[in-house]
Amino acid sequence: MTSPIAHLSNAGRLDRMFIGGEWTLPERSTRSAVVDPSTEAPVAEIALGSSADVDTAVAAARRAFADWAVTSPENRARLLDRVHALILERAELFAQAISQEMGAAIGYARSAQVPLAAEHIRVARDNLATYPFLTHRGTTAILREPIGVCGLITPWNWPLYQITAKVGAALAAGCTVVLKPSELSPLSALFFAEVVEDAGIPPGVFNLVNGDGPGVGAALSAHPDVDMISLTGSTRAGVLVTQAAAPTVKRVALELGGKSPNVILPDADLARAVAPGVAAAFRNLGQSCSAPTRMIVPRQHLHEVERLVSEAVSGMVVGDPRSEQSTHGPLANRAQFERVQEMIDVGLAEGARLVCGGPGRPQGLNQGFYVRPTVFSEVHSRMRIAQEEIFGPVLCVIPYDSIDEAVAIANDTIYGLGAHVQGEDLETARAVAARIRSGQVHINYPAWDPNAPFGGYKRSGNGREFGIEGMEEYLEMKSVLGY
């Protein structure tokens, strides 16, 4: 199979944007290296856009909007069906690209990163087919119409998954889009643009401008002809985007950071509660905004939890992401590697008890952004490791003495994105879930549901993605009285 880099290089697309249905050179020739996190070596260069490219892309999206907004839902669903089919056809190419650009273990890229991304397109297609864009309330008609041109800013940790979550919903709603993917993991975005092109999406409906936050993200957020910005990223980035968008009073949807709790209730079966909790915290090597990295456990079971946590971590294989034997690859980039190392040192300095892992790379890995899956116990909420989003494989085990205290610990955070509750008595688990201030709560590790709305309370953001609610973010409401 042709490598992802070779495929894009041979097609001449590493140095191009996708604007108005054409692969075009940027206005200026600034370039950025794509670094393989397993070797720390640059493997390609992409062209970075500028505000001038944003202007061109927004103009193309604005021209395309008038026709796309009035296409029938059936026609939009047919085109999304083609996008979905092409992602599945090219699944291995996407998986290889994601593994190379951000270090996901190839098995995880194949089993999660790509198929879950495809699901967002399928859900958008299916919901579009039955959505009531026109409803009646007496003699008043209520219309839901596409908001317009949408700027979409996506992160490096789930590069394709976050693109499809936004693009699928926006296109289903009848919006046109300008996508700015992370410049750190741009390969899968370029492949997605190829999919859009080959699926027959009309020119200008989808546009891709590679670039960084100051050069492209800020220009997109402030642009007067952009009607909505949707960002997935850090809370700091969300604040900057909101400030840039404020003068034009555009809609802003934000999916930001998290410090998600996993409350293990006193009646939980520890053998079934602990190991899946470790796996959830360390999925994607902990580089997930909703990862449950605070395990809140009954004090009387603390030592048993520590034993089970250690067993779970011992079964993880951190190594070459292209190896079928590796369960986890490296962190995605140098900045994240340094951040995780810093926070492990902070945990030790704060007096948390190290259960496993610790500073440095795993044994035998002397280069690459590899880290040791790390668990701290006897953590309390005043510690930085219990409050700050680390975004790596660092789990905090926090003991409690009562369910009320467990809920208070779960809510003792500026974030409110995801949460987990484990318990044998479902009524008790439901009651605890109802008291946790977060946008999504999982009880007893249910299957992932792409129709479940996802988004945050507090500083984890606003608005919702996934499912019908995700599409509704891209719709305006119009009342027509006397209809």
In this structure, what token pair is assigned to residue 188?
Answer: 């899968």
d(CA 184, CA 154): 11
Cα distances (Å, whole numbers) of residue 220 to 54, 227, 313, 347: 6, 10, 42, 38
Q: Which of 119, 97, 117, 99 is nearest to 108 (CA)?
A: 99
Q: Which of 291, 294, 296 is nearest to 264 (CA)?
A: 296
d(CA 175, CA 55): 17
Burial class (CB in 10 A: 0-12, 13-18, 19+), 36: buried
d(CA 83, CA 243): 34
Number of H helices and number of E strands within the chain? 17, 22
Cα distances (Å, whole numbers) of residue 436 to 158, 328, 417, 460: 26, 30, 10, 14
Q: What is the helix (H) or strand (E) element at residue 39, kind and residue range?
A: none
- Helix segments in 32-158, DSSP class H: 51-69, 73-89, 91-102, 106-108, 114-130
The answer to whether 466 touches 120, Cβ cutoff 8 Å, is yes
The residue from 101, 255, 306, 473 that is catalytic is 255
Angle, alpha carbons 440-441-445 (nearest 5°):
125
Q: Which of 196, 150, 193, 192 is nearest to 170 (CA)?
A: 150
In this structure, what token pair is assigned to residue 52?
Answer: 């001038």
Q: What distance, in Å, lies between the first and last C-alpha atoms of the chain?
A: 58
The answer to whether 468 touches 445, Cβ cutoff 8 Å, is no
Q: Which residues contact 261 (CB under 8 A, 6 or more apart)?
A: 292, 294, 296, 409, 410, 413, 419, 420, 436
C-alpha torsion angle, residues 211, 5, 187, 47 (rounded to 10): 10
Q: Is 92 a catalytic residue?
A: no
3-state class (DSSP) for residue 433 = helix
In sequence order, the β-bridge partners of residue 416 are 457
In sequence order, the β-bridge partners of residue 219 are none
- Residue positions annotated with a catalytic role: 255
